[in-house]
Amino acid sequence: NEPLEVVDPEIATVLELELGRQRDYLEMIASENFVPRAILQSQGSVLTNKYAEGYPGRRYYGGCEFVDVAEELAIARAKSLFGAAYANVQPHSGATANAAVLSAIATPGDTILGLELAHGGHLTHGMKLNFSGKLYNPVAYGVDPDTFLVDMDVVRDKAIEHKPKVIIAGWSAYPRHLDFAAFRAIADEVGALLWVDMAHFAGLVAAGLHPSPVPYADVVSSTVHKTLAGPRSGFILSRDTALAKKLNSNVFPGQQGGPLMHVIAAKATAFKLAAEPEFKERQERTLRGASILAARLTADDSRAAGVDVLTGGTDVHLVLADLRNSPINGQQAEDALHDVGITVNRNSVPFDPRPPMVTSGLRIGTPALATRGFDDAEFTVVSDVIAEALKPGADVQALRARVKTLTEAFPLYPGLQQ
Ligand code: PLP
């Protein structure tokens, strides 16, 4: 029972360096966030020792009386937070949740219709190397080449042409709301099931700041660790219980064995926190931060430097910087921001003329900085730093100093030592 520093100093060093990195850089990867100390506590707890195959009250292992309470709380809180009649909180990750959803509502060989990966869709929505592309027959709708928006007439045409078993609405890189009612109408017209993957925007939905897919979809899947700010993991919801048995059995035993009870306990806490006014206020700052960033990257000096923003702005927690007219490509832009202390990821833009490892875009998100405490004033500074860093010949030292002022003013996990 020696501490980590003694048992495995090499790994202890990794933890220490990673904590330092998270403290010293401004985290703007749109899919990341910082969990509260309370969640770190559950995840590092003795619950990691427990096997609990099955569901609360119906386990294949003894000694589940306490972990049952955690899972029941997580289920009840997820249902109440999102107004769902059904919740499964066992998926280890978003991808596992999605594998369970597809195996519950489609049969291998069935056609599935989702957003094109290169236009902001996710691997699990039909990418050819993913299970979804190998087991099913994926077809895709893309965004409009002029507006970069999903055009529901195109979705309808594709649905009529391909008669999919499942229509998927959801994205990893798209800066606007999807029209869930229109997706529902198309699904009904062609006799498809509608699955919404709200992994990215679940926190905004929980806060009432984004339309909820729950009333429209047959099934909704999500991660817990993006805008929702909980432990790295997934969950599944449904507006009614029609698919409950199928969904449960396709999570366990269909896709998974023992649930991660330490993570499920942490999910319960995340759902509890997401129902509180502080969470809503944080999501409001997240959205304002993204709008401030979009406005800055569409200002005259940015446009003159070849930087723009896809769709001209954002309704959500991320901005898609468009570098097609910039001499700096996505890879160089990612590196330039890293040099000034800001972490983002490069991202292909739809119809990208540059190759996927280079790209002509950046995906920049505000959830983690909102969690760190940033408000309009700080988002204005960081947006200016980004705009300046993306211009050729930027003063890297001066920009790094501005970032340092922000990281020092908003300490992360004060007092925590790995
Ligand atoms: N679904 C969407 C829309 C996502 O963006 C992601 C994560 O990037 C996932 C699912 C998969 O989540 P995970 O990385 O937990 O498997």
Distances (CA, A) of 398 to 58, 327, 385, 402, 404: 60, 22, 9, 7, 10
Q: Which residues of 284-295 are buried (b: 16+ CB within 10 A; e: fewer)?
A: ebbbbbbbbbbb
Residue 145 has pLDDT above 80, yes or no: yes
Residue 418 has pLDDT above 80, yes or no: no
pTM for the complete prediction? Answer: 0.97
Task: Return d(Cα 105, Cα 110) in angstroms, integer.
Answer: 10
pLDDT in the model for residue 297: 98
Ligand 1 atom 12: residue of nearest CA: 94
Binding residues for (6S)-5,6,7,8-tetrahydrofolate: 117, 121-123
pLDDT in tens, 340-371: 999 999 999 999 999 999 999 999 999 999 99
Residue 77 has pLDDT above 80, yes or no: yes
59 is catalytic: no
Residue 73 has pLDDT above 80, yes or no: yes
197 is catalytic: yes
pLDDT in the model for residue 417: 85
- Residue 121 CA: which ligand 1 atom is closest? 3
pLDDT in tens, 306-329: 999 999 999 999 999 999 999 999
CA of 5 to the centre of ligand 1 (A): 33
Task: Return d(Cα 221, Cα 31) in angstroms, integer.
Answer: 15
Give the pLDDT band (50/70/90) at residue 378: very high
Let me know: does 387 contact 342? Beta carbons within 8 Å: no
pLDDT in tens, 109-133: 999 999 999 999 999 999 999 999 9
Report residues whose beta carbon is within 6 angstroms of any ligand 1 atom: 31, 93-95, 98, 122, 124, 170-172, 197, 199-200, 223, 234
68 is catalytic: no
3-state secondary structure of 232: coil
Task: Return d(Cα 324, Cα 118) in angstroms, integer.
Answer: 15
Pocket test for ligand 1, best of 31, 96, 223, 233 (most atoms within 8 A of CB): 223
CA of 289 to the centre of ligand 1 (A): 23
pLDDT in the model for residue 15: 97
Q: Catalytic residue among 50, 77, 165, 232, which?
A: 232
Mean pLDDT along residues 171-192: 98
Q: Catalytic residue among 32, 71, 197, 352, which?
A: 197
Q: Identity (one letter) of the amino acid at 154?
A: V
3-state secondary structure of 253: coil
- Residue 225 CA: which ligand 1 atom is closest? 15
Distances (CA, A) of 161 to 113, 125, 133, 179: 11, 18, 19, 20
Residue 285 has pLDDT above 90, yes or no: yes
Task: Return d(Cα 243, Cα 106) in angstroms, integer.
Answer: 12
240 is catalytic: no
pLDDT in tens, 6-32: 999 999 999 999 999 999 999 999 999
Angle between helices 330-340 and 396-409 (to 10 degrees): 60
Q: Which residues of 191-201 are buried (b: 16+ CB within 10 A; e: fewer)?
A: ebbbbbbbbbb
407 is catalytic: no
Rg (CA), the chain: 22
- Residue 95 CA: which ligand 1 atom is closest? 16
pLDDT in the model for residue 386: 98
**What tokens does 404 get?**
């340092």
CA of 102 to the centre of ligand 1 (A): 14
CA of 127 to the centre of ligand 1 (A): 13
